[in-house]
Amino acid sequence: MRRFLLIFTPYVWLLALFLVPFLIVLKISLSDTALAIPPYLPVIEWSEGWQGFKDFLSQLDFENFTWLSQDDLYWKAYLSSLKIAALSTLLTLLVGYPIAYGMAQAPDEWRPTLMMLVILPFWTSFLIRVYSWMGILGNEGLLNQFLLWTGVISEPLHIMNTPTAVYIGIVYTYLPFMILPIYAALEKLDSSLLEAAEDLGCSRLSAFWLVTIPLSKNGIIAGSFLVFIPALGEFVIPSLLGGSGTLMIGKVLWEEFFSNRDWPVASAVAVVLLLILIIPIILFQRNEQKAREADQ
């Protein structure tokens, strides 16, 4: 009985508040927009019993998905989200790897402090960290003031409200997610392998390419997915730093729902986004599984 309750409570909670809501999204994505409350059709007529349910099923269709595939806006939003997420993952890797590498090479007594310095921003509000760039990147922002003052540029750069600002925001906020798995992989690396490579005539640089990078592969893959997956559906960064110049699907969904009040289209956008995400999620799970098996 106790065992039953132990399993039952979290199970039912997740069924009711995770699975059922998702099925509702799926259902509404197949409905039509209507000027009613709730603003979609059809609604199940429970009073008519089985016939009501059958009528309901027959009225569902894929119209919203056809609409998504025909309207340029959605195509562009999905593609530009994919592009922004992929490119900023690469940038985060380029910025994060040297930091993780430096941490792994640092003297032992520094490491707890360095770890804490990487983790601290993670506990700080995401919103505040994105906001902190607004004062820096603006046309009269500190970066432009500084560059004008040093004479590097003669006219202010337009960074705010462009995709560049979104890249900076993603790299900045997701950097700890990239550093930590890479550092975990580098820390385990057996340094005698590097010695062996150098004894056999490798230069330091080629030993790095041929030994260190391949052995930290799992960390690189895990870090990249940890950045790519949330970046794809990101809403806060494009809406604060990207302005109207950046199209990302998370923002489109938000506006479809809150500004246009088009629930069926918003739901269809969500379903397609999830279908796109399933591929990287499965790849990520596989990589984790492999890493775990390799550890044992």
Of residues 179 through 198, those in contact with other proteins by CB under 8 A are 191-192, 194-195
Kindly tell me which residue out of 185, 263, 265, 268 binds other proteins, with binding defined by CB under 8 A.
Answer: 263
- Let me know the angle formed at the C-alpha of 291 by 287 and 295, rounded to the nearest 5 degrees: 170
- Let me know the angle formed at the C-alpha of 171 by 148 and 214, rounded to the nearest 5 degrees: 125
**Closest by Cα among 176, 179, 35 to 106:** 179
Give 11 or 62: the residue with its C-beta nearer to other proteins: 11
59 belongs to the binding site for other proteins (CB under 8 A): no
What would the two tokens of residue 253 be?
């969904």
Question: β-pairing, 32-33 with 40-41?
Answer: antiparallel
Please state, in angstroms and rounded to a whole number, the distance separating the CA atoms of residues 139 and 127: 21
Give 13 or 75: the residue with its C-beta nearer to other proteins: 13
Q: How far is the CB of 75 from other proteins (least distance, A)?
A: 18
Give the x-and-dash track for 209-238 against other proteins (CB under 8 A): --------------------xx-xxxxx--
Kindly tell me which residue out of 21, 48, 53, 153 binds other proteins, with binding defined by CB under 8 A.
Answer: 21
In this structure, are residues 206 and 64 in contact, taking their beta carbons and an 8 Å threshold?
A: no
In this structure, are residues 28 and 264 in contact, taking their beta carbons and an 8 Å threshold?
A: yes
Q: How far is the CB of 206 from other proteins (least distance, A)?
A: 16
Give 163 or 250: the residue with its C-beta nearer to other proteins: 250
Please report, as residue ranges, which positions from 270 to 289 form the binding site for other proteins (by CB under 8 A). Answer: 270, 273-274, 277, 281, 284-285
Residues 6+ apart with CB under 8 A from 289: none
Q: How far is the CB of 198 from other proteins (least distance, A)?
A: 9
Please report, as residue ranges, which positions from 89 to 148 form the binding site for other proteins (by CB under 8 A). Answer: 95-96, 98-99, 101-103, 105-107, 112, 114, 116-121, 123-129, 131-136, 138, 140-142, 145
Give the x-and-dash track for 154-183 against other proteins (CB under 8 A): ------------------x--x--------
Residue 132, number of CB atoms within 10 A of its CB: 12
Please state, in angstroms and rounded to a whole number, the distance separating the CA atoms of residues 88 and 237: 12
